[in-house]
């Protein structure tokens, strides 16, 4: 399909058929997939879905031709602003390089898990959406853009169908940037997608509801994208302290708002709600290692997420500046980011040039600090307590986009018995996204969850299954270590959808949970497996 066909007047451009999908490995070779749930008639009438029959944005259809025209003009105006230094100094140079230099070689396509696993649907090629944007810019925003437009390859119609499909298409890429890592010219079609999302958000107010209204807005309004208020945090921390005592017999006080502490530790607040054992494990480890740290209960200070990273520079900057401001007020020497991949990149890398150097606070990965704790010998680990096969998922934001590859492996090698660690292939900087990147892990509007299950999460599921081939007996318990909140959420959803634990014995956890499980002075197992409570009963 040519990119120009995106403006075609048709009910639906592409259909995802389960029989087209790339096959999964044993024991799922003949698995009967549940197809994408079609939108209901009333949803179809309300929401744009003409790209692939999926609605991630629940984008309302314009009611009049005038409204369509206004939105198309707004899109063009946003694209124009995107190419100015005043509105887009943050990404102008890499954007313009990627706009101008694609050699159309399609090397990036084979690197993209969404394209591959969808059964190679053209619309998911990394170049497809990027080419549409390039063509619109050339035809509608460059001098003489109409001259020989067909011959020059940018004769595209900019209509509402184009804009609506582009909006949805910008949420079919996880921003993992594998495409950019293989481009022989250096073009970054992942960045093109990031910038496209910015047009929709910053100019048109269109974004995934879970990452904007229910995400960064809630973060700035209540203090956390989970909706957890500053008043509730202290209570939750108390519950965690009680749970720690129950699970370990230790009375541990989790420090809050401690001025002058060496470290401000910020978790993804989703951990408090979905996986409280993760912040508990951090507390146990930091207490045992004698780390001088604090958590914050200030607005945004207890939630490391920064959803603006995926769609909006302004929202991104607001949250990042809050994090830095809180650390400055507490007088800490550094911020340590918990097991949250995108928070790592947001605060450590992208936010690094938002403020003059004197106003910055050093940021560090918890992986690095945890590895240092292991190396210090302050905590004694007994690897035999983790005597089951373990594979490691590399969060893209931490590995390919930040270069933290070894510390997590060194930690695992110290807390697992020899021969129990299996690498996925490929891994490290060549890893595949969990399928929940760029906000997908928390997005479930319309019928988008089905798309994630069938397409974006499929490669990782395939990798996980491949990592344990030969030991698929469900009685052999196996663990995926996913030291990132969003990755963990996506992997959980995939394992549950495909009943992977029941069929193969594979489950998931974070890294700190495995560490605490291996602590010599931890009497009871800290890790929980599905069905453990039933066994206890």
Residues 420-459 that bind other proteins (CB under 8 A): 428-429
If residue 359 lies in a helix (H) or strand (E), which one and from where to where?
Answer: none
User: CB 44 → other proteins: shortest distance, Å?
Assistant: 27
Q: Which residues pair with 381 in a beta bridge?
A: 519
Contact 71, 145 (CB under 8 A): no
Q: What is the largest CA-CA distance in the chain?
A: 76
**Which of 244, 285 has the CB closer to other proteins?**
285
**Which of 220, 274 has the CB closer to other proteins?**
220
Which residues ranging from 332 to 361 are in contact with other proteins (CB under 8 A)? 334, 348-358, 360
* Residue of 239, 244, 298, 241 lying closest to 273 (CA atoms): 239
**Which of 371, 522 has the CB closer to other proteins?**
371
* SS3 state of residue 461: helix
User: CB 418 → other proteins: shortest distance, Å?
Assistant: 20
Contact 262, 293 (CB under 8 A): yes
Which residues ranging from 192 to 231 are in contact with other proteins (CB under 8 A)? 201-205, 212, 217, 220-223, 229-231
Contact 282, 276 (CB under 8 A): no
Among 405, 414, 472, 476, binds other proteins (CB under 8 A): 405
327 binds other proteins (CB under 8 A): no
User: CB 318 → other proteins: shortest distance, Å?
Assistant: 6
Which residues ranging from 158 to 187 are in contact with other proteins (CB under 8 A)? 177, 180-187
63 binds other proteins (CB under 8 A): no
**Which of 168, 312 has the CB closer to other proteins?**
312
Could you give the count of Cα atoms lying within 13 Å of 464 in the half-sphere of its Cβ?
32
Number of residues that bind other proteins (CB under 8 A): 102
User: CB 464 → other proteins: shortest distance, Å?
Assistant: 21
Q: Whole-angstrom Cα distance, residue 190 to residue 111? A: 12
Q: Whole-angstrom Cα distance, residue 468 to residue 237? A: 36
Which residues ranging from 122 to 151 are in contact with other proteins (CB under 8 A)? 122, 125, 127, 131, 150-151
Q: Whole-angstrom Cα distance, residue 109 to residue 97? A: 19
**Which of 342, 385 has the CB closer to other proteins?**
342
91 binds other proteins (CB under 8 A): yes
Contact 165, 50 (CB under 8 A): yes
257 binds other proteins (CB under 8 A): no
Beta-carbon contacts of residue 231 (< 8 Å; ≥ 6 apart)? none
User: CB 216 → other proteins: shortest distance, Å?
Assistant: 9
Distance of CA 342 to the CA centre of its chain: 6
Q: Determine the interface stretch with other proteins among 80-88, 239-247, 470-478, 499-507 (rule: CB under 8 A).
A: 80-88
Which residues ranging from 265 to 324 are in contact with other proteins (CB under 8 A)? 299, 314-315, 317-318, 321-322
2 binds other proteins (CB under 8 A): yes
Beta-carbon contacts of residue 328 (< 8 Å; ≥ 6 apart)? 359, 361
Among 43, 87, 445, 497, binds other proteins (CB under 8 A): 87
User: CB 186 → other proteins: shortest distance, Å?
Assistant: 3
Contact 396, 437 (CB under 8 A): yes
Task: For 332-392, list the strands marked E by DSSP.
Answer: 334-337, 363-365, 390-392
Sequential DSSP letters for 416-460: S-TT-EE--SS-GGG----S-GGGGGG--STTHHHHIIIIITHHH
User: CB 400 → other proteins: shortest distance, Å?
Assistant: 6
400 binds other proteins (CB under 8 A): yes
Among 78, 208, 389, 439, binds other proteins (CB under 8 A): 78
372 binds other proteins (CB under 8 A): yes
């Amino acid at each position: 399909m040519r990119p120009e066909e995106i403006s075609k007047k048709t009910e639906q451009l592409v259909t995802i058929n389960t029989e087209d999908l790339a096959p999964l490995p044993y024991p799922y070779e003949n698995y009967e997939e549940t197809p994408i749930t079609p939108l209901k008639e009333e949803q179809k009438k309300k929401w744009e879905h003409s790209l692939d029959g999926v609605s991630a944005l629940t984008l309302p259809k314009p009611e009049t031709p005038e409204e369509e025209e206004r939105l198309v003009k707004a899109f063009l105006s946003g694209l124009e602003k995107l190419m100015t230094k005043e509105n887009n100094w943050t990404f102008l140079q890499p954007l313009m390089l990627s706009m101008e230099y694609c050699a159309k070689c399609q090397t990036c396509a084979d690197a993209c898990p969404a394209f591959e696993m969808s059964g190679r649907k053209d619309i998911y090629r990394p170049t497809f959406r990027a080419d549409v944007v390039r063509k619109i810019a050339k035809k509608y925003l460059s001098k003489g853009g109409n001259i020989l437009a067909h011959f020059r390859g940018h004769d595209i119609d900019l209509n509402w169908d184009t804009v609506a499909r582009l909006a949805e298409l910008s949420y079919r890429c996880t921003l993992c940037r594998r495409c950019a890592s293989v481009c022989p010219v250096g073009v970054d079609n992942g960045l093109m997608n990031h910038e496209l999302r910015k047009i929709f958000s910053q100019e048109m107010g269109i974004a995934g509801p879970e990452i904007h209204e229910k995400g960064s807005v809630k973060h700035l309004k209540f203090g956390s994208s989970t909706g957890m208020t500053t008043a509730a945090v202290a209570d939750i921390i108390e519950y965690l302290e009680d749970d720690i005592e129950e699970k370990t017999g230790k009375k541990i006080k989790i420090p809050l708002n401690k001025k002058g502490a060496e470290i401000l530790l910020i978790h993804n607040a989703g951990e408090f709600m979905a996986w409280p054992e993760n912040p508990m494990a951090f507390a146990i480890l930091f207490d045992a290692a004698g780390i001088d740290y604090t958590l914050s209960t200030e607005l945004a200070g207890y939630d490391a997420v920064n959803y603006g990273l995926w769609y909006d520079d302004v929202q991104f900057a607001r949250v990042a500046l809050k994090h830095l401001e809180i650390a400055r007020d507490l007088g800490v020497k550094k911020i340590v980011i918990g097991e949250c991949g995108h928070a790592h990149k947001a605060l450590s890398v992208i936010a690094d040039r938002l403020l003059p150097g004197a106003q910055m606070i050093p940021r560090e990965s918890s992986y690095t600090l945890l590895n240092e704790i292991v190396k210090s010998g302050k905590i004694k680990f007994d690897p035999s307590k983790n005597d089951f096969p373990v594979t490691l998922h590399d969060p893209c934001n931490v590995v390919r986009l930040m270069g933290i590859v070894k510390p997590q492996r060194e930690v695992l090698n110290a807390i697992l018995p020899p021969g129990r660690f299996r690498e996925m292939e490929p891994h490290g900087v060549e890893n595949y996204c969990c399928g929940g990147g760029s906000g997908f892990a928390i997005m479930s509007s319309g019928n988008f969850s089905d798309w994630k299950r069938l397409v974006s999460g499929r490669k990782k599921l395939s990798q996980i299954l491949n990592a344990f081939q030969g030991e698929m007996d469900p009685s052999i318990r196996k663990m995926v270590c996913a030291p990132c909140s969003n990755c963990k959420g996506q992997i959980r959803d995939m394992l549950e959808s495909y009943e992977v634990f029941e069929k193969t014995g594979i489950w998931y956890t974070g890294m700190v949970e495995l560490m605490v499980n291996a602590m010599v002075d931890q009497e009871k197992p800290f890790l929980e497996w599905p069905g453990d409570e039933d066994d206890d009963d």
